[in-house]
Structure 1
Amino acid sequence: MAYLLGEKVEDVMCNTTKGVTGLYDYIGDSWCCLFSHPGDYTPVGTTELGEMARLAPQFDSRGTKVIALSCDHLANHQGWIQDVKAATGFDVNFPIIADPGRDTAAQLKMIKMEHRGADTRGLPRTVRAVLIIGPDKKVKASMQYPLSVGVNFFEILRLLDALQVSSAESVHTPVNWVKSQDVIVSPDMPTDAALEKPTFQQGLRIIDLPSRKEYLRITPDPTTAADEEEEAAAEA
């Protein structure tokens, strides 16, 4: 069974291409994107590693560490990394967990029952999965994909932006939201309190609805204003 939202991930010891580390030590006070593959030298996984390598600076700018997991040996990981570079043109500089015995995958709840006996040794394969883990080591988002479908890392970045803005401020994000677009004031915050909140001073619009209920309250993305203030201070 996969992790539930809000559940704390286990602090597993990871043997990776960058050395041995505890998962908590690796995450530290950062956010983390942990994603898994069914095995090395897989075509979809090769494209995923290359794309994540290309987008790594985007994750870095969001204070997010990246770590992958594949059910194979370190030596195979190193060879696969060379294939990824040849196929995509990008170096994989984030760690890949080696898990030939599936112990780490089992601890991280990344094994599906229907994948048991899937490889030549009769061992189960991991699902193609993504976990977004917060600095508190709790699962903020969890996604699983069929083996035939690659991850859309642009959506992962969008999701990460939404999670970070909602964790920093009392806001929710509407359908198809991307960073810098307007957000929705959380239903848990009374309108009077929202009007007094400094981060909502850019403007708060209450949508007039037939029900006459004031539950759809729109405000500019407060993190965009904070980013602009930081840039202005840096230029001063």
Structure 2
Amino acid sequence: MKKHSIVVLLAGSLLSFACAAPEPSARPGGQVLSAAPTCPCPSCPPADCAAKQGQAGTRIPLIGEDAPAFRAQTTRGPIAFPDDYKGRWVILFSHPADFTPVCTTEFMTFATLAPQFAALDCDLVGLSIDSNFSHIAWLRTIAERATFRDMQHVNVTFPLIADVKMDVARKYGMVQPSASSTEAVRAVFFIDPKAKIRAVIYYPLANGRNFQEIKRLLIAMQTSDAHKVATPADWQPGEDVIVPPPNSCGTARQRVEQPQAGDTVVDWFMTFRKLPKEKLKLP
């Protein structure tokens, strides 16, 4: 008898109602990371099936883990990651293919914002499953012919990884066969100066990314690190931040009865504090 489990995701919490023990290595949505993928043809060896489906060696790095290391050829020369970027933030992102319209608008937007990310001590590194020759030709076309909104003659100066063999894409879970086995999805990895994965965003093939949100999240994480605070929903630089909740009954009582000057105490677990823009690192 096949065993099942029902998994419900609610606002950052995971509630699991087990009808029976779950199958090994199963994840919500049917994704299996550590076990061999199910083969539609029973006579096919699991390893062959994994290769056919483009899943061999694929794993999604988790928040808090070390960023997978790799060496690659890019449009700016060879790189050794993360060694070449020690002490800096990195946004590593993938796109489905060169010479495609959505990707072209994304690269024009990211390249235009690149100086703002540099001011935040953050380097940009792109990737797709294309050759370096394709990358170079595409970036030249963007610079010479592409227009989007008020942008034209945009020069992309950050490196773009040529990952024809999908070596890097698989290390970062960028190839997701349910979407495409030959193209990378629109993945965004935020990697901190200690080479730790801090945030991950995935977009579907058909929809372009919100780069203002990517910048906002980077500033929010840097603010949390620098000031030991959290940021509420839809937070923008200059707005109130959240003070971490107290961890004892005594400090909880003190938080309510003797609030710090300038704090807004909604309850013992929810306190807002002003953090003016001039105290933040902004581009």
TM-score (norm 1): 0.82
**Which residue does the alignment assign to 2:262?**
203
Match of 2:113 among 55, 76, 89: 55
**Which residue does the alignment assign to 1:71?**
129
Aligned pairs (5 A) from 1:206-225 = 206-207=265-266, 213-221=267-275, 224-225=278-279
| 1:32/1:133 contact within 8 Å kept | yes
**Which residue does the alignment assign to 1:127?**
185
**Which residue does the alignment assign to 2:221?**
163
| 1:165/1:223 contact within 8 Å kept | no
TM-score (norm 2): 0.69
Q: Which has the larger radius of gyration?
A: 2
After superposition, what is the alpha-carbon deviation per residue over 1:83-128, rounded to whole angstroms, capped at 9, x for unaligned? 22221421100000001111111122211022455xxxxxx21111
Q: Secondary structure at the match of 1:33?
A: strand
C-alpha distance in 1 between matches for 2:233 and 2:209: 20
| 2:179/2:205 contact within 8 Å kept | no
Q: Which moved more, 1:84-93 or 1:34-43?
A: 84-93
**Which residue does the alignment assign to 1:234?**
none
**Which residue does the alignment assign to 1:210?**
none
C-alpha distance in 1 between matches for 2:231 and 2:172: 28
Report the CA distance shift for 1:227/1:13 in structure 2 as closer, same or farther (over 3 A). Answer: closer
C-alpha distance in 2 between matches for 1:201 and 1:42: 54
Bigger helix share: 1
**Which residue does the alignment assign to 1:19?**
77
Q: Secondary structure at the match of 2:79?
A: strand
| 1:202/1:220 contact within 8 Å kept | no
**Which residue does the alignment assign to 2:146?**
87
Q: Does 1:146 align with 2:204?
A: yes
After superposition, what is the alpha-carbon deviation per residue over 1:3-22, rounded to whole angstroms, capped at 9, x for unaligned? 21112111111211111111
Q: Does 1:102 align with 2:102?
A: no
Count of residue pairs the alignment pairs up: 213
Q: Secondary structure at the match of 2:189?
A: strand
**Which residue does the alignment assign to 1:29?**
87
C-alpha distance in 2 between matches for 1:23 and 1:142: 17
CA deviation after TM superposition for structure 1 residue 202, in Å: 7.3
C-alpha distance in 2 between matches for 1:188 and 1:35: 37
Any gaps of 5 or more consecutive residues in structure 1? Answer: 118-123, 195-199, 208-212, 229-236
- Identity among equivalent positions (%) equals 36
CA deviation after TM superposition for structure 1 residue 188, in Å: 5.0
**Which residue does the alignment assign to 2:51?**
none
Higher relative contact order (CA 8 A, sep 6+): 1
C-alpha distance in 1 between matches for 2:117 and 2:134: 26
**Which residue does the alignment assign to 2:178?**
114
Any gaps of 5 or more consecutive residues in structure 2? Answer: 1-58
Report the CA distance shift for 1:188/1:214 in structure 2 as closer, same or farther (over 3 A). Answer: closer
C-alpha distance in 2 between matches for 1:97 and 1:221: 38
Q: Does 1:181 align with 2:239?
A: yes
Output the amino acid matched with 1:107.
K
Output the amino acid matched with 1:206.
V
C-alpha distance in 1 between matches for 2:128 and 2:81: 15
After superposition, what is the alpha-carbon deviation per residue over 1:205-230, rounded to whole angstroms, capped at 9, x for unaligned? 212xxxxx4111111126732669xx
